[in-house]
Amino acid sequence: MPRLGDFLLGYTGVMMSNAALAQLKLLQLADSALPIGTTAHSYGVESLVAEGQLGVAGLGQFLRAFVHESGQLEAYLAYQAWQLGAAEFSQAWLDLNAQAAAFKPARESRHASAVLGRRLLSLALQLEPLPRWQQAITLAQTQQIETHHSCVFGLVAAGLAIEAEAMLAALLQQMTLSLILACQKILPLGQVQAQQLLWQLHPSIQAVVAQTPSTSFADLASCSIGLDGASMRHPLLGTRLFIS
């Protein structure tokens, strides 16, 4: 049974539990309209399409693999950040972001992750000035490190008391939706078809969320050699819609 303290009184007089409020915040932070620039990146997909390697027909299979591989890595990073305790936070935060950078061989995709992370952290701090987030920004500035999107997402979710499972599902949904939205700009992919694709990915997202808490650093082996290579070739494209 919820206790009285679990509820807040809004100005409309509607009672809302703390859990529902946390969900509301998560919805906002994982919204594709969040102004951090998620829609400016294709992470190499633009190259795959330009090279004729990826079309609408193969998109479902491609995205499923994307969730299982890249999703595994991003979920791991977010979960590690979500778990960071107060003790030795500074070193752990630096180490995690260094790992995140090392797992991303393609410069443009790595840079995209860092830019989104920096913007998300900055935005979150303007929405709610939590000391831990301020510490993370100060560390990034003083140590001149990049803060990666998934790490920041996990850190922010922890600060807002969002459950790990919900946080991971939202992160994976957001990153997949961003890629689908990118595909809509460069492939003949309709709105309904795009939503169907995303819907069909829910079991894959669920599977990655379920396995993430038991994934160790040693286990981690997300493989996206084709996409990484495409991201490396992205600067060579004559006409580009996306930054990465």
Partner 1 sequence: MQSPSRLERMHGHLALDFTLKQQRTRLMVREHRPPLQVVRDFGLADGTSFVHLHNVAGGVLAGDQLTTTINLAAATKVQLTTTSSTRIYRSDGEQVAYQAVQANLAEHSLLEYWPDTTIPFAESLYQQQTRIDLADDAGLCWWEFLAPGREAYGERFAYRRLRLDCDIYALGRPLLLDRMRLQPSLQQLNNPLYFGNYSYLATGYICRVGLDAAQWKALEATLMAFAASQTKLGRCLWGVSCLAAHGLMIRGLSTNSRDLLATAFEYWRIAKQALYGTSPNLPRKIY
Site residues for partner 1 per CB under 8 A: 48, 51-54, 58, 61-62, 65-66, 69, 98-99, 101-108, 110, 146, 220-233, 235-236
The residue whose two tokens read 């961003």 is 178
Contact 220, 212 (CB under 8 A): no
The residue whose two tokens read 């003949």 is 188
For partner 1, the closer CB: 73 or 170? 73
H/E segment holding residue 8: strand 7-9
For partner 1, the closer CB: 150 or 231? 231
The residue whose two tokens read 């831990």 is 132
Least distance between partner 1 and beta carbon 47 (Å): 9
Least distance between partner 1 and beta carbon 181 (Å): 18
For partner 1, the closer CB: 14 or 236? 236
Least distance between partner 1 and beta carbon 161 (Å): 31
For partner 1, the closer CB: 114 or 136? 114
Least distance between partner 1 and beta carbon 140 (Å): 14
> What ranges in the chain are assigned the alpha helix state H?
18-29, 45-50, 59-83, 89-102, 107-127, 131-143, 149-159, 164-186, 191-200, 202-211, 225-233
Q: Is 55 exposed, middle or buried (0-12, 13-18, 19+ CB in 10 A)?
A: middle
Tokens at 203, concatenated: 């079991």
Tokens at 11, concatenated: 């100005």
For partner 1, the closer CB: 51 or 128? 51
Least distance between partner 1 and beta carbon 72 (Å): 10
For partner 1, the closer CB: 28 or 61? 61
Least distance between partner 1 and beta carbon 121 (Å): 18
Q: Is 21 exposed, middle or buried (0-12, 13-18, 19+ CB in 10 A)?
A: middle
How far apart, in Å, are the Cα atoms of 123 and each of 107, 167, 216?
A: 24, 17, 30
